Chain A
């Protein structure tokens, strides 16, 4: 008897299993199950890196809030011309919440995606299984969003500690930050999977992430930018994320404004998914 035992009927001439029973225990192939399976892959993958993630999730935001809130904030709040007259730390914290979502989205959707088809090959291997390109994309994106939401939850906790949550609506700032992350994760994944070399990713960081980080009203009111720049600001996704989060934590949210922001972010995420279905298929099934 071979080590393979019952494999394909075994070496002892036992009747082979019927095709219907192969692969045994397989549930019908449905999209949610497929995405879940890809998600599980990334859970196993993350097991070896989660400790580092936890440390940076705690230390990063704490340093940010201390530096900006306690340090810079003292300076700024003194002659505060901030909208609503809030102190600087209350102003900047929701901005950093949204900006952190974007930064984490860049971390999750560039090198890991590129590596998945160029270096580790786990995308390539998954494509040989019942996984479809869109399952691979969504399963990976789902784990990225879970990880980002965890980081954001820690940051959100610190925001509470620093007294920056001024409204019961503030609890919605966390899902808003997750939505902001989704609006970056999906389009970035769709784009990264088309890259042939690593250099494209550092270009994206330098020319997309950094300007957005600085000029989306994260650290100072966007109204201070010259008038011609305002339409540009309105068009950027991070601005919508920042405005949404800030209006929720400060309690200044309006139905109309919030719906515009949510609509924009949902639309961008959906666009990213739509493009990703095509680019993932081109990369993995061509």
Chain B
């Protein structure tokens, strides 16, 4: 039942302003925003174990805390197996927590799963579309699950297909659509119930760069309209582009949390100097480089020097008589944060 008691609290959606001509992501939290928006999702000590026959249970999520507020884009970042997808499934109320607490809209997923899910939009990792059905029908069948009247579904389908640039494919089957189109259709489908929270599990995995940018653009526009978005990704640039706040997950735990910028500030230097040396000479060079930068990370194919002034660091490298094959000074990214936190790169 949709009683209004738990939804009576006034919403404090950020005013998206007139039209989409807003600043590009990442959006910094506005310091002058009046009282913080209401907490939509709250997790405390949230954990999930899967029993294993004849062995210790597998711990997918090992007790995590987080809050997601209305209007935020909140990211779960981490490599495969970090527990992101399991956390997502718990948030989607399709996987009960083993221990700890989770609440969405102030409701308990264990008792109010259908009611909570009626207010969520979910884009699963594999699109799971009905390939043999028409593009349009994919939205129709989904809309019916939410009990929406036919006229509402029709009107929204038209609007949403336009939104994801698929209006001209409405009566085509899904089968011949490209990966990017399918993902966009999957996003359109998840919006049919006008969800308050949109949940995306690795929204751009497997897409080519161009298709990825189209998806980012659509998500950014939804964010502009005040939709709360939760996404998982193992792409650092995606997290930087889209997220207001994120948690870095590693081995079922939260290794760090904050805004992309604050994480970079906290766990990294401003700039990174990437050096490549001829084959076989890297180890020798890395030894000589000690002391040149705050921190040095030796990867199989290159050496990373963390320094607030990359150019100055490069000068010191040259001053040591070293001659790298390539030298690149770049801004530090979440990839560097992850490397700092876990000692591992985000490669699958």
CB pair A286 B95 closer than 8 Å = yes
Residue of B nearest to A29 (CB): B114
* A131-B149 CB under 8 A given contacts A2-B221, A44-B140, A45-B130: no
Q: Which residues of B contact A16 (CB under 8 A)?
A: 11, 13, 226
CB pair B196 A22 closer than 8 Å = yes
CB pair A128 B137 closer than 8 Å = no
Q: Which residues of A contact B105 (CB under 8 A)?
A: 19
Within B151-207, the residues touching A (CB, 8 Å) are: 152, 159-160, 162-163, 191, 193-196
Within A147-163, the residues touching B (CB, 8 Å) are: none
- Once bound together, how far apart are the Cα atoms of A121 and B1, in whole Å? 28
Is A120's CB within 8 Å of the partner chain B? yes
Total CB contacts across the A-B interface at under 8 A: 164
Q: Which residues of A contact B144 (CB under 8 A)?
A: 37, 40-41
Q: Which residues of B contact A10 (CB under 8 A)?
A: 225
Q: Which residues of A contact B145 (CB under 8 A)?
A: 37-38, 41, 126, 129-131
Q: Out of A13, A22, A120, A125, which one reaches B119, CB within 8 Å? A: A22
Is A206's CB within 8 Å of the partner chain B? no
Is A9's CB within 8 Å of the partner chain B? yes
CB pair A120 B95 closer than 8 Å = no
Q: Give min CB distance, A57 to chain B, whole Å.
A: 21
CB pair A26 B194 closer than 8 Å = no
Is B124's CB within 8 Å of the partner chain A? yes
Residue of B nearest to A18 (CB): B7
Is A262's CB within 8 Å of the partner chain B? no
Within A104-147, the residues touching B (CB, 8 Å) are: 120-122, 124-132
The number of chain B residues touching the other chain, given as a range, is: 35 or more
CB pair A7 B225 closer than 8 Å = yes
CB pair A19 B7 closer than 8 Å = yes
CB pair A29 B194 closer than 8 Å = no
Within B1-37, the residues touching A (CB, 8 Å) are: 1-2, 4, 7-8, 11, 13, 15-20
Residues of A within 8 A of B (CB): 1-5, 7-13, 16-20, 22-29, 33-34, 37-38, 40-41, 44-45, 48, 120-122, 124-132, 284-286
Known A-B contacts: A23-B147, A28-B2. Give 15 more (CB < 8 A): A7-B222, A11-B16, A11-B18, A11-B225, A13-B16, A16-B226, A18-B11, A25-B147, A26-B148, A27-B147, A29-B114, A120-B130, A121-B126, A128-B94, A131-B145
CB pairs A–B below 8 angstroms (5 shown): A18-B7, A23-B193, A29-B118, A121-B124, A128-B92
Residues of B within 8 A of A (CB): 1-2, 4, 7-8, 11, 13, 15-20, 92, 94-96, 105, 113-115, 117-120, 122, 124, 126, 128, 130-133, 137, 140-142, 144-149, 152, 159-160, 162-163, 191, 193-196, 221-222, 224-227
